[in-house]
């Protein structure tokens, strides 16, 4: 009994000291303070609900690079940086030394061996094959026609419906369904039709949401803890296991159906890879020798490829569009300028071809500004093969963890100037009225160096098409009183969505 009482007193004293510490110490100081055992982990969890804006403050007072110390032997130590010189060193000039690494692949294990998780020769060969598929003229035409058709047959009727009813709708949900349907068509050729007035729930989309949340929590827990939760089947890890099973089952269905479709078509005529529109058909028929990939038509390879492409093309664009329209609601002058540019360009008459979209310079700047402030992928992770010294002077050991915080990078006054927090499309326009280029180590929203996003131009085209269609034909008003804040996850989505009312313009 005495030992129990002593334990209770000790716990009470520890709780009192912890409470006193968090209530009366300055927040920045407590984040950087090392506890004897837990070190900086308590402060991280206290700030987790507002970690994005908190990271901005910490990195500003830490000269853009901050060494985080987790509990000893928990494998949570990491160097967090937004220093452009460090980013250029890691992503470009010393690229070969910085990889995703086994720890990254462990955290992102549900995505298998896709281009997002792999390194070295496998990554190079995968990238070559992805690049060849995406840059085919047939796929480019298929991509543009799919986006335009889904916009006209999906978003427009949906917004017309809510405009007529006079009821609100979650615009983030609409964009998520639009990009989900679009990317599934581009990958598999099949339309899941999640974008409809009924707003049906899609199990694959739900599984992706659960995985995004689970992966973030894996970054802020000791590895042994989330591994234990995974083994027991508890909390976020239980959701991860279920999501993985959903991925396997749904992808297997698409792969099986596509194999049968190809088999039936070959009875009638021999369809070449160049003539096929969707990516799954192309990957099933991929030349294994040319791209040095083992069993590229293997079901696991195809499953991992489908998930990688969905992850790259679904939530990223939906997130960017959601934050973009919220920023427009706060900046009506920007809306007026975009509409005037569309009128001057006569985009409604000339159509949505790439050459016409490229003329929308101010819209391009507004979209870049939106993803600067709200990058869809809010952090990147790298690990050095060999120990190194970064340009900032920080030494990094082999196999250590480096986190690049894209959200904070876009808000650094040392990088973007004193007006870094302002939404200013003009910062992307040159004196001659052209698009101003910013180096990727400063504007990292589409990655940098050899891992630069392959679908950047497709994503920008998609966002421009959607923006022009909506802004020319509708007035969007954000419902007052809702709380707009980022959700915790690997994609920077809105925690409570974006409820809007819509009115048709004359």
Indicate the burial class of 283 (C-beta count within 10 angstroms; 0-12, 13-18, 19 or more): buried
| Secondary structure letter of residue 67 according to DSSP | E
Euclidean distance between CA atoms 372 and 306, whole angstroms: 28
Euclidean distance between CA atoms 397 and 386, whole angstroms: 7
Confirm or deny that 453 is annotated as ligand binding.
yes
Q: How many residues does the chain have?
A: 506
Torsion of CA 68, 74, 75, 81, to 10 degrees: -10
Euclidean distance between CA atoms 300 and 504, whole angstroms: 46
* Token digits of residue 296: 């590229």
* Token digits of residue 323: 């934050």
Closest CA to 370 of 329, 415, 404, 311: 329
Residue 500 backbone dihedrals phi, psi, to 5 degrees: -135, 160
- Which pairing describes strands 65-68 and 78-81: parallel, antiparallel, or unpaired? antiparallel
Give the helix ranges, DSSP H, for 220-298: 223-232, 235-268, 279-284, 288-291
Residue 379 backbone dihedrals phi, psi, to 5 degrees: -150, 150
Q: Assign residue 333 a region: left if phi > 0, alpha if psi is -120 to 50, beta otherwise?
A: alpha
3-state DSSP call for residue 70?
Answer: coil
How far, rounded to the nearest angstrom, does the alpha carbon of residue 461 sit from its chain's CA centroid? 17
Closest CA to 485 of 334, 322, 367, 331: 322
Residue ranges at the known binding site for heme: 453
Residue ranges at the known binding site: 453
């Amino acid at each position: 009994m005495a030992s129990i009482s002593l334990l209770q007193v000790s716990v009470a004293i520890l709780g009192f000291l912890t409470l006193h510490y968090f209530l009366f110490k300055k927040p920045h100081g407590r984040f950087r303070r090392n506890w004897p055992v837990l070190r900086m982990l308590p402060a991280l969890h206290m700030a987790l609900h507002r970690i994005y804006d908190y990271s901005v403050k910490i990195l500003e007072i830490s000269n853009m690079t901050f060494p985080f110390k987790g509990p000893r032997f928990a494998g949570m130590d990491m160097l967090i940086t937004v220093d452009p010189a460090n980013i250029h060193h890691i992503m470009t000039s010393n690229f070969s030394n910085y990889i995703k690494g086994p720890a990254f692949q462990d955290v992102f294990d549900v995505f298998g061996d896709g281009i997002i998780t792999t390194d070295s020769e496998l990554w190079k060969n995968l990238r070559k094959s992805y690049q060849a598929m995406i840059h085919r003229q047939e796929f480019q035409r298929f991509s543009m026609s799919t986006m335009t058709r889904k916009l006209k047959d999906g978003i427009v009727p949906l917004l017309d419906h809510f405009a007529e009813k006079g009821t609100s709708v979650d615009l983030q949900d609409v964009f998520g369904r639009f990009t989900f349907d679009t990317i599934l068509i581009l990958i598999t050729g099949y339309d899941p039709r999640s974008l409809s007035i009924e707003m049906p729930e899609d199990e694959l989309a739900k599984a992706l949401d659960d995985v995004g949340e689970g992966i973030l929590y894996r970054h802020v827990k000791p590895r042994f803890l989330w591994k234990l939760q995974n083994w027991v089947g508890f909390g976020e890890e239980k959701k991860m296991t279920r999501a993985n099973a959903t991925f396997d089952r749904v992808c297997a269905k698409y792969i099986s159906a596509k194999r049968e479709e190809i088999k039936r078509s070959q009875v009638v005529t021999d369809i070449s890879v160049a003539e096929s529109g969707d990516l799954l058909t192309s990957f099933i028929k991929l030349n294994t020798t040319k791209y040095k990939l083992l069993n590229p038509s293997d079901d696991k390879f195809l499953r991992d490829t489908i998930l990688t492409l969905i992850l790259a093309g679904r939530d990223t664009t939906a997130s960017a569009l959601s934050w973009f329209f919220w920023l427009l609601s706060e900046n009506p002058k920007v809306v007026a300028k975009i509409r005037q540019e569309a009128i001057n360009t006569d985009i409604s008459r000339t159509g949505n071809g790439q050459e016409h979209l490229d003329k929308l310079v101010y819209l391009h700047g507004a979209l870049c500004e939106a993803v600067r402030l709200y990058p869809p992928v809010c952090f990147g992770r790298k690990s050095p093969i060999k120990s190194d010294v970064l340009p900032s002077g920080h030494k990094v050991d082999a196999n250590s963890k480096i986190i690049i915080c894209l959200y904070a990078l876009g808000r650094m006054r040392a990088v973007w100037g004193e007006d870094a927090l302002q939404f200013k499309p003009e910062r992307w326009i040159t004196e001659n009225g052209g698009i101003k280029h910013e180096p990727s180590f400063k504007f990292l929203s589409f990655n940098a160096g050899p891992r630069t996003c392959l679908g950047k131009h497709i994503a920008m085209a998609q966002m421009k098409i959607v923006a022009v269609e909506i802004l020319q034909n509708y007035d969007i008003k954000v419902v007052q009183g809702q709380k707009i804040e980022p959700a915790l996850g690997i994609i920077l989505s809105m925690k409570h969505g974006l409820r809007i009312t819509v009115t048709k313009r004359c």
